[in-house]
Amino acid sequence: MVKKKLSKVSMFSLIAAAIIIFITLFVPWWGMEFYAPQYPEGLDIIVYPTTLAGDIDVVNGLNHYIGMKEFSNESFPELQFMPYIVAGIAVLTLIVAFLRRKSLLYGLIALFALGGAVGILDMRRWLKKFGTELDPNAPIDLEPFVPPIIGENTIANFVTNSYFTWGAFLLGLAFILMIFPLWKDRGK
């Protein structure tokens, strides 16, 4: 019995997923906004897969008072190799698209889902580390805390909002485009 290849529509869906995955290298994936009476316009930390952006210096200056370690690109070694992982997944997606084998697609989907789960767990680990490993000799004594990955949190007089942004939404779209061939070619 000869196994049929994934359809051309499925191939194009996977090519689109690969392009979208590659594009996510250039857009933010996650962010956190900080609001307080002295900062009504808010302060931002914006996380790209390659760098941190936003009001990092101001946030670090404020975090000093509660004994939190400074945020920097060097604080997160993942930012050094994340571009290679993202580009590698995009290339693997193209390979699966051109080979059009469903067995490879299952492996790709599993790898993509595993990468997403590891990424979320890693974010949680960093949030916990920064929020609970506070310097006990800091000028302001604050109970350890863990900011949420998504949602609102109040720390002293600051209200923080954590959220996924364009990169995460595009990765979700890429995942949908990866699983679409399983539905499209379900009879094969």
Per this entry, what is the length of the chain?
A: 188
If you average pLDDT over every residue of the chain, what do you get?
A: 93
Q: For residue range 118-138, what is the model confidence (pLDDT) as tens digits?
A: 999 999 999 999 999 999 998
Share of the chain above pLDDT 70, in %: 98
Write down the domain spans for the chain.
8-184
The pTM assigned to this predicted structure is 0.90
Average pLDDT over residues 13-17: 98
Helix (H) or strand (E) holding 163: strand 158-164
| Distance set, CA 40 to CA 25, 127, 159, 180 (Å) | 31, 24, 10, 44
How does residue 93 score in pLDDT terms, banded at 50, 70 and 90?
Answer: very high
Residue 160 near residue 32 (C-beta atoms within 8 A): yes
Rg of the chain over all Cα atoms, to the nearest angstrom: 20
SS3 19: helix
SS3 156: coil
How far is 6 from 40, CA to CA, in rounded Å?
53
pLDDT of residue 1 exceeding 50, the answer is no
Options 1.10.510, 3.40.50, 1.20.140, 1.10.10; CATH of 8-184: 1.20.140
How does residue 184 score in pLDDT terms, banded at 50, 70 and 90?
Answer: confident
Amino acid letter, residue 103? S
